[in-house]
Amino acid sequence: MHVLITGGAGFIGSQLAEYHLDRGDKVHVVDDLSTGSKENIEEFAEKPGFHFDEADILTWPGLEKAAAWADRVYHMAAVVGVYRVLAEPIKVLSTNIAGTERLLRAIHAGGWSPQVILASTSEVYGHTEARELREDAPLVIQSGARSRWNYAVSKLADEALGLSYARKHGLQITIVRFCNTIGPRQTGRYGMVLPRFVAQALRGEPLTVYGDGNQTRSFCDVRDTVAALDALASNPASGGEIVNVGNNREISILDLAKLIIRTAESTSKIKKIPYLEAYGEDFEDITHRRPALDKLFGLTDFSHNWTLEETVQDLLDRSRNRVAKVV
Ligand code: UDP
């Protein structure tokens, strides 16, 4: 199979590349290395069938050719991460919307219908009251919303574009709402909590819990995520659907910090930091997030292989090995 991965040097994208290379597929990655990194894909450079272009999805001259070549497209290229979203509120909208539009136009022009996975996010659910996030729930974004919501707005536009191309041109496009994906190669640089806590615990520094720590999230290992994406893309019935991809075990951020300290046998303490200090004025956090997964399980025979404890242990082992190699 020919697989095109936009944003393929990011943490989910590079896991997708590894997954398909292991299966003997040909993989073409394009990434502008804005949040992705060369390090994430350097181990694939020697593998037969791997190709990398460093380019911006908005201007990449090879897009039409690559889109026509692909049997499967994962569109992961986007401006992501809370810190980047707050720092670059305009770029989030322009890159995420125009990039998806350009890609879908290229796929349609290619004249046939590859299996397409479009990355969206659980951020689109916003401040819903529901304890479980269902794909068909109405979405509420406040008028005059703060900059954090620009990410959700950009991804909602992407969803609408994807669904419209699917309906109008009969393309097999599946919208995937990622819900707090974690795992190897994820960086804490743009705000993601797991790699930040792991690094802090290993350095014996305080774990920085924002707010009171009672906010909850449901974390899904990226190796489970890519298996779910492959299963979805392989089923034509997923075309034109919006599907949550995540894990439904919910944990508070305070308990997550405790779990990491315990597993790392770290001397770190927990330090609570007010949101204002953590993110500045322009911020509202989500209190709870747990995805409904009936739709994913209905469309695929996917099941999870990784528990949160196993992922945390694996990340600690990997970080320690990396440090040991350098020393
Ligand atoms: N968070 C935290 N300490 C950090 C980074 C994040 O307590 O050093 C919190 C953050 O406020 C949020 C949760 O962890 O409540 C998940 O944050 P992340 O940015 O990983 O994901 P998202 O907010 O997009 O769900």
CB distance 192 to ligand 1 below 6 Å: yes
Element (H, E) at 48: none
**Is 155 in contact with 120 (CB distance < 8 Å)?**
yes
Residue whose CA lies nearest to ligand 1 atom number 6: 193
The minimum-distance atom of ligand 1 relative to the CA of 123 is 24
Confidence band, pLDDT 50/70/90 cuts, at residue 146: confident
pLDDT, one tens digit per residue, over 69-83 is 999 999 999 888 878
Q: So what's the pLDDT on residue 324?
A: 67
Percent of the chain with pLDDT over 70: 98
How many helices (H) and strands (E) are present in the chain, helices listed first? 12, 13
Q: So what's the pLDDT on residue 130?
A: 85
pLDDT, one tens digit per residue, over 192-206 is 999 999 999 999 999
Choosing from 146, 251, 253, 290 the residue with most ligand 1 atoms within 8 A of its CB, the one to mutate for a pocket test is 253
Cα 179 to ligand 1 centroid, rounded to whole Å: 12
pLDDT, one tens digit per residue, over 3-39 is 999 999 999 999 999 999 999 999 999 999 998 999 9
Q: Is 151 a catalytic residue?
A: yes
pLDDT, one tens digit per residue, over 312-326 is 999 999 998 876 665
With a cut of 90, say whether residue 327 has pLDDT above it.
no
| pTM of the full structure | 0.95
Choosing from 217, 261, 276 the residue with most ligand 1 atoms within 8 A of its CB, the one to mutate for a pocket test is 217
What whole-number distance in Å separates Cα of residue 228 and Cα of residue 301?
A: 9
Q: So what's the pLDDT on residue 283?
A: 73
What are the residues whose beta carbons fall under 8 Å from the beta carbon of 302, sequence distance 6 or more?
224, 227, 228, 231, 232, 296
Q: Which position among 19, 151, 165, 210 bears the catalytic label?
A: 151
